[in-house]
Chains A and B, each alone.
Chain A
C-alpha cells in the first residue's frame, strides 16, 4: 500500500473511530449503572448482531489506524529503516485484529 493510500486509510479510520469511541464510553457509563458483571455484559452482547457489528468495525478501524500512526512515530523517534518499521506496524495490526476480534467473537 503506498503512502497516499495509507494516509487516506488513517484519516477515514480516524473519522470512524471518533464517534465510535464516544458510543463506547457512553456504553461503559450506562452499563456500570446497573452493576458490572459477566452475566450482565453477556446478556447485552450474546446473539446481538448490532453490537457484534459495531465492535467488529471498531476493531478493524483501530487495527488500521494505530499501526499507521505507530509507523510515523517509529520513523521520527528511532533509527529503524522502513522495512523494520513496516514489519513492526504489520505485527501491531495483526495483534490488534486477533485480540480484538477474539474478544468480539467471545461475547457474541
Chain B
C-alpha cells in the first residue's frame, strides 16, 4: 500500500570520482533497498548501474553500502535502515568503483587465490568416496564456517582491508579454515603457509566487523582466531594429534 510519504535517497553516481545524486522515491509499507534502487533506475535515472540477480538473498550480487553499512540490499527492509526519511546508497567499500553502485570484485576474488583457498583432493574418480565423520571436531568446525556465498560484505566491512589492501581478508581466510578442517584436502601445510604469509591472518585485529555484517551469520573472525591458534600448536603437531 502506498503512502503519501517519500524517501530522500542519495545515490553515488560515477566511478572513483563522482557525485551524490538525490532522488525522491515513494515510501511503501513493504520495500527493500533493492526495490528503491530499482525504482530509481526504472522511473528516475535509466543510466543508473547496479547489480542484482536472484532478489531473494541467494546470490549476494546486490551487496551495497547502505547508510554506511554493507548489506544485501534485497534482504534489507527500508524501514530497518532509514534515518530521518533518508537513505544513502553507495558501492561496497574497499573495492574499486566501476560505475555508480557497481564495484570491481576482482581484488576480492584474488584474495581467495593468494590465500590458497582452493580444494585439492586426495583421490580421483576411480576411488570410492572418502568417508567423513560428521561428528568429528574438525568436521563440525568446517561446517560452522561453510555457506559463504562470496558476496564480499565482510571484505567491505573489514577495517584492516581498508588500511591494507594486500590483506587477505575475512572471506578467504574463512575458506582456508574450512579447508584445514577438511580431512579430504591434501594440501594442508601449503594452504596453512599461504594463509600465514605476509598480509595474512596475523594481520587481523579481531574487530569482528566481518561477523557482525555477514548476511548468513558466519563468523570469519572465529575462523581466523582458529587459524591463529594453529600457529601455536604447530600445524603438523595438530594433524598428528588427530
Q: In the bound complex, what is the Cα–Cα distance between A76 and B202 (angstroms)? A: 13
> Which residues on B sit within 8 Å (CB–CB) of A77?
163
Mark each residue of chain A from 1 to 41: 1 if its CB lies under 8 Å from any CB of chain B, else 0: 01110111001000000000000000000000000000000
Could you list 12 examples of A-B contacts with CB < 8 Å? A2-B196, A3-B198, A3-B200, A4-B196, A4-B202, A7-B196, A75-B164, A75-B203, A76-B163, A76-B164, A77-B163, A82-B198
> Which residues on A sit within 8 Å (CB–CB) of B196?
2-4, 7
Mark each residue of chain B from 187 to 229: 1 if its CB lies under 8 Å from any CB of chain A, else 0: 0000000001111101100000000000000000000000010
Q: Is the CB of A3 within 8 A of B197?
A: yes
Q: In the bound complex, what is the Cα–Cα distance between A2 and B232 (angstroms)? A: 13
**How far does the Cβ of A88 sit from chain B's closest Cβ, in whole Å?**
15
Q: In the bound complex, what is the Cα–Cα distance between A75 and B165 (angstroms)? A: 10
Q: Is the CB of A7 within 8 A of B231?
A: yes
How many contacting A-B pairs (Cβ < 8 A)?
27
Mark each residue of chain A from 42 to 77: 1 if its CB lies under 8 Å from any CB of chain B, else 0: 000000000000000000000000000000100111
Interface residues on B, range: 10 to 19
> Which residues on A sit within 8 Å (CB–CB) of B40?
none
Instruction: List residues of chain B with CB under 8 Å of any chain A CB.
Output: 160, 163-164, 196-200, 202-203, 228, 231-232
> Which residues on B sit within 8 Å (CB–CB) of A76?
160, 163-164, 203
**How far does the Cβ of A83 sit from chain B's closest Cβ, in whole Å?**
11
Contacts known (A2-B196, A3-B198, A76-B160); A8 close to B231, Cβ less than 8 A: yes
Q: Is the CB of A8 within 8 A of B232?
A: yes
Q: Is the CB of A4 within 8 A of B231?
A: yes
Q: In the bound complex, what is the Cα–Cα distance between A77 and B160 (angstroms)? A: 10
**How far does the Cβ of A28 sit from chain B's closest Cβ, in whole Å?**
30
> Which residues on A sit within 8 Å (CB–CB) of B160?
76
Q: In the bound complex, what is the Cα–Cα distance between A2 and B202 (angstroms)? A: 11
> Which residues on B sit within 8 Å (CB–CB) of A7?
196, 202, 228, 231
Q: In the bound complex, what is the Cα–Cα distance between A3 and B203 (angstroms)? A: 10
Q: In the bound complex, what is the Cα–Cα distance between A33 and B197 (angstroms)? A: 50
Q: Is the CB of A6 within 8 A of B202?
A: yes
> Which residues on B sit within 8 Å (CB–CB) of A11?
232
When C-beta atoms are compared, the residue in chain B nearest to A12 turns out to be B232
Q: From A2, A6, A76, A77, name the one whose CB has the most chain B CB atoms within 10 angstroms.
A: A76
**How far does the Cβ of A44 sit from chain B's closest Cβ, in whole Å?**
37
